[in-house]
Amino acid sequence: MIIPSELQFTAERLMKSQGRVGTADNDINAIVSMGMVPQGYRVNNYLTDTDAFYILTDVPNGMKMFNRAPLTTAMEGDFDTGNVDTKLEKDTHLVYLTLEVFLHHQVHNN
């Protein structure tokens, strides 16, 4: 499971609790008991949706990262002040090549 850093504590509760999370019922935690997410979770600090998580599947080469534009720099100096303005730009995208690669689910719809 891949999660944003905002969901670390929620993921820890879901993945490590023996009982069902957030209820007073004595139900077992089916995610843990059935081994549904055997690899646990990993935090991706670049995810921008704070309430979404992703489940990895075994589809080979399902997600690729493309650098659409390489890192470029530009500088411009000011003769009078000696200051230098610097600009850096980069455009990177993650592309899901098949629908089965990630199952996206909003946490608040669960």
Torsion of CA 67, 50, 41, 56, to 10 degrees: -50
Provide the phi-psi class of 69: left if phi over 0, else alpha when psi is between -120 and 50, else beta. Answer: beta
pLDDT at 66: 67
Compute how many other C-beta atoms are within 10 angstroms of the C-beta atom of residue 63: 15
What confidence tens digit (pLDDT) does each residue in 7-62 have?
Answer: 999 889 888 888 887 888 878 888 888 888 888 889 988 888 888 887 777 767 66
Domain that holds residue 52: 2-109
Number of domains in the chain: 1
Of the two residues 40 and 110, the one the predictor is more confident about is: 40
